[in-house]
Amino acid sequence: AGAEAEGSLDLSRLDVPAALHQILSQLGLTNAMCGEWRLLKHIVEAEFGPDAGVNTVLIITSLESKPEALPDSCKWMSKEGARELLSDVKPGGTRIGPYVHVGFVKSELSSDCTAGSTLVSQEYPPGITLVPMKSSTLRPFRTTNLVVIQATSGTCASKRSDYFACGDALLIDPGCCSQVHTELADLVNSLPKKLLVLVTHHHNDHVEGLSVVQRCNPDAVLLTHENTMKRIGKGNWSTGYTAVTGGESICIGDQELQVVFAPGHTDGHMGLLHVNTNALIVGDHCVGHGSAILDNRAGGNMKDYFQTTYKFLEMSPHVLIPMHGRINLWPKHMLCGYLKNRKAREASILQSIENGAQTLFDIVSKTYCDVDRKLWIPASFNVRLHVDHLNSQHKLPKMNLWDENLARCKSECA
């Protein structure tokens, strides 16, 4: 879901009858039960990458008659019922997807922080807007998701007094590059002045726009882990900050968020749970395509990464929101896939060592032989941390030669 662009729609390029037939078959409906079909919205997806955006056409009709029963996977629901499920999510409860939100509920719940700009955004779940902005991130991505959370208009702020921090808006990871700093400034100027800013970690593609935020709103409050702040240059943020360690509750109008300490990618990496919608903002712990690269130069740690992944699984979120790529609507499937992939890589690394690999290049070339060589250098960062993890578990071969090779491996990674 993103910008609406009815004027650019060419239905001749779409097999609309086949799509309608498939949907009606799934619902147990026939064309005779339906009235006139009409276009509701054409939605251009924001630039999440790495592949081209998926544009969406929403077509609606009125039913002349209803079937006696729907399949188990389907359910009739009013707009009010969908709105309630979207805005007050219960763990393990019924989930409402983004198409329902953007098609029927969004205009009644939200304000668009990118209105009037060239930026294309996506709001889902309600209250959480993702704005992919061009950044200096690693390929295959080209953008970093700026996350914007605003108080829902027409609602009252929480009456609790024990929040760690409160504001009328929250920005997460303003990491866009200089080419789009003007657009970022326009966005910041459109937000309420009582602004909080949270940075998940220090990498440039997550902090490069901090100076713009501070220039536009000098009273904005920065929240981050102390290990992250030590690595953020004065040119990005010149005044003080508020340290977070995990467990802090934040109030943005009627919305509650909880800070989550999530080391692994770096030693100061943070996540954020949007309590109202049970959506988990995961920073760079997960990405929308492929797997995450850990930073061995900034406290990245494979044991921490595994533990954080298990922590996220225990939280049982409804949605995962990465800072690169699309949201994920099947969090447990994604997180379990990450665990499976990392464990398989680690087993492959151990096997290559046992088979005689003596250098970092030996390990990478054998373990990642099925991966594009352009990705071997970033993959080597994870290999180094896997070797450290194996060593901490005393799983490496018991021979003096390997001690020398381990030191060489670390030196090559450095």
Model confidence pLDDT, tens digit, residues 58-106:
888 888 887 778 888 888 888 888 888 887 887 778 888 888 888 877 7
Q: Is the pLDDT of residue 162 over 50?
A: yes
pLDDT at residue 400, rounded to an integer: 46
- Let me know whether 320 and 241 are in one domain: yes
- Let me know whether 147 and 86 are in one domain: yes
Q: Is the pLDDT of residue 29 over 90?
A: no
- Let me know whether 162 and 275 are in one domain: yes
**In one letter, which amino acid is 408?**
R
- Let me know whether 132 and 213 are in one domain: yes
- Let me know whether 395 and 320 are in one domain: no
- Let me know whether 185 and 314 are in one domain: yes
CATH classification at residue 281: 3.60.15.10
> Is there a domain that residue 96 lies in?
yes
* Structure confidence at residue 107 as a pLDDT band (50, 70, 90): low
Boundary (domain end) residue, out of 269, 297, 329: 329
> Is there a domain that residue 188 lies in?
yes
> Is there a domain that residue 322 lies in?
yes
Give the count of domains, the chain: 3
- Let me know whether 253 and 297 are in one domain: yes
> Is there a domain that residue 365 lies in?
yes
Question: Packing angle between helix 360-367 and helix 400-413, nearest 10 degrees?
Answer: 80
> Is there a domain that residue 335 lies in?
no
- Let me know whether 166 and 143 are in one domain: yes
> For the purposes of burial, counting CB atoms within 10 Å of the CB of 92, is it exposed (0-12), middle (13-18) or buried (19 or more)?
exposed
- Let me know whether 182 and 292 are in one domain: yes
- Let me know whether 124 and 249 are in one domain: yes
- Let me know whether 211 and 285 are in one domain: yes
pLDDT at residue 148, rounded to an integer: 98
Domain that holds residue 406: 342-413
Q: Is the pLDDT of residue 408 over 80?
A: no
Query: Three-class SS of residue 249?
Result: strand
Strand partners, 131: 146
Q: How far is CA 91 from CA 156, 255, 313, in A?
A: 24, 16, 12
User: What mean pLDDT is predicted for residues 359-374?
Assistant: 91
- DSSP secondary structure code for residue 292 in this structure: P
Boundary (domain end) residue, out of 329, 350, 376: 329
Comparing 61-75, 199-213, 288-302, which segment has the lowest mean pLDDT?
Answer: 61-75
Q: Mean pLDDT in the chain?
A: 89
Comparing 219-228, 233-242, 312-321, 392-401, which segment has the lowest mean pLDDT?
Answer: 392-401
Q: What is the pLDDT of residues 108-144, one digit of tens each?
A: 555 667 766 788 999 999 889 999 999 999 888 999 9
Q: What percent of the chain has pLDDT over 70?
A: 90
- Asked whether the beta carbons of 275 and 256 are under 8 A apart, the reply is yes
pLDDT at residue 44, rounded to an integer: 84
Boundary (domain end) residue, out of 276, 308, 329: 329
> Is there a domain that residue 336 lies in?
no
> Is there a domain that residue 67 lies in?
no
> Is there a domain that residue 334 lies in?
no
> Is the link from the previous residue into 218 a cis peptide, with omega within 30 of 0?
no
- Let me know whether 225 and 346 are in one domain: no
Which of 139, 275, 136, 144 is closest to 200 using CA atoms? 144
Residue 349: how many other CB atoms lie within 10 Å: 23
Q: Is the pLDDT of residue 412 over 60?
A: no
pLDDT at residue 205, rounded to an integer: 98
